[in-house]
Amino acid sequence: MEIKLAKSAGFCFGVKRAVDMVYEQAQKREERLDAGEEQVPDIYTFGPVIHNEEVVKDLKKRGVKVLRTEEELKTLEDGIVIIRSHGVGEHIYETIREKGLEYIDMTCPFVKKIHNIVKRESEAGKYIIIIGDPNHPEVIGIRGWAGKRACVIENEKDAREFCLGNTELDDESDNKICIVSQTTFNYNKFKYLVEILLKTRYDISVLNTICNATKERQTEAEHIANEVDAMIVIGDKHSSNTQKLFEICKKACENTYYIQTLDDLNMNQLKLKSVEAVGITAGASTPNNIIEEVQNNVRLNF
Ligand code: F3S
């Protein structure tokens, strides 16, 4: 039996970097406690470092706490705050500094780049449009660098409404717009929405800030799914990028299984279908140890 494991399975560069840092800090804290130090600061992440129940539970066991809101952050007296790969708005940095807290910034550099663009362009007087999901933490963070003259456009309805008129942009001398995108937004949808917006009378500059990691993972998964008899997609059941990965693989290979952990995998199903080549991929929030466990067990069982 041949196993084809996608190179792009699991954490992207930005998420891996943030998760590794949280584990590193948890480890340091444990060592200081073991050495008998009394004043060891607690470790907090601003929002869960990753949308994966297993990882969040594991980190909780190691004493890493999750801050859910800025109000919670304001109640802290000490501690180390880790900013996750999604990034946060400028006001969160201000709160951290005002409180005199220590912090480690693990904002993905690709997201940080968008913060810088949005801040620069908004200070230059441009109106900012962020194409993305308004409720996604990354978009909320980007919005937090854009000043007051900004909006989020998620779908065709939003784009068409924007074209009908925007009171903040009625002044002809003030009609420059800068468009950026959420890093994980679908490229075709981004292009479509930009085309609608370009029909307005405004002077628009478009910056495609979509990250390639998602696209690469999807392309590789599709490629592998086309070459195997069965495909395993690993990821949290609430993860939208894993669901998308599953849909892509299922189209290419009817025999595709969506599992969260090894426990969900029914080896007999694979055996009954006399599978000779199995492909494995995983969503962006799936830790390496789960991927390895699945891979090793598939290997052992055949
Ligand atoms: Fe990941 Fe950073 Fe891209 S978090 S998806 S590498 S923008």
Angle (deg, nearest 10), helices 156-164 and 187-197: 10
> Does residue 49 have its Cβ closer than 6 Å to ligand 1?
no
Residue 285 marked ligand-binding: yes
> Does residue 46 have its Cβ closer than 6 Å to ligand 1?
no
Q: Which of 70, 123, 138, 276 is catalytic?
A: 138
Q: Are 264 and 232 in contact (CB under 8 A)?
A: no
Q: What is the distance in A from the centroid of ligand 1 to the CA of 201?
A: 33
d(CA 142, CA 37): 39
pLDDT at 53: 79
Q: Which residues pair with 234 in a beta bridge?
A: 259, 282
Residue 274 marked ligand-binding: no
The tokens for 131 are 């194409």
Q: What is the distance in A from the centroid of ligand 1 to the CA of 36?
A: 38
- Residue 254 a catalytic site member: no
- Summarised one tens digit per residue, pLDDT across range 37-88 is 988 999 999 999 988 877 888 999 999 999 999 999 999 999 999 999 999 9
Place of tokens 């996750």: 84
User: Does 13-108 match 110-206 in CATH topology?
Assistant: no
> Does residue 230 have its Cβ closer than 6 Å to ligand 1?
no
Instruction: Give the CATH number of domain 13-108.
Output: 3.40.50.11270
The tokens for 195 are 């085309």
The topology (CATH level 3) of 2-10+212-301 is Cobalt-precorrin-4 Transmethylase; domain 1 (3.40.1010)
SS3 273: coil
Q: Are 25 and 17 in contact (CB under 8 A)?
A: no
By residue count, the chain amounts to 302
What distances in angstroms separate CA 279 from CA 130, 161, 218, 271, 275, one per listed residue?
36, 44, 13, 14, 11
d(CA 130, CA 82): 25
Instruction: Give the CATH number of domain 110-206.
Output: 3.40.1010.20
Q: What is the pTM of this model?
A: 0.87
d(CA 72, CA 269): 47
pLDDT at 247: 94
From the alpha carbon of 184, which atom of ligand 1 is closest? 5
From the alpha carbon of 86, which atom of ligand 1 is closest? 4
pLDDT at 285: 86
Residue 34, Cβ density class (10 Å: 0-12 exposed, 13-18 middle, ≥19 buried) = exposed
Q: Which of 3, 5, 4, 6 is nearest to 220 (CA)?
A: 6
Domain assignments of the chain as residue spans, ordered by start: 2-10+212-301, 13-108, 110-206
Residue 249 marked ligand-binding: no
Tens-level pLDDT at each residue, the chain (302 residues): 899 999 999 999 999 999 999 999 999 999 999 999 988 999 999 999 988 877 888 999 999 999 999 999 999 999 999 999 999 999 999 999 999 999 999 999 999 999 999 999 999 999 999 999 999 999 999 999 999 899 999 999 999 999 887 666 765 556 899 999 999 888 889 999 999 999 988 899 999 999 999 889 999 999 999 999 999 999 988 887 899 899 999 999 999 999 999 999 988 877 767 789 999 999 998 999 999 999 999 998 87
pLDDT at 270: 76
pLDDT at 202: 87
pLDDT at 171: 59
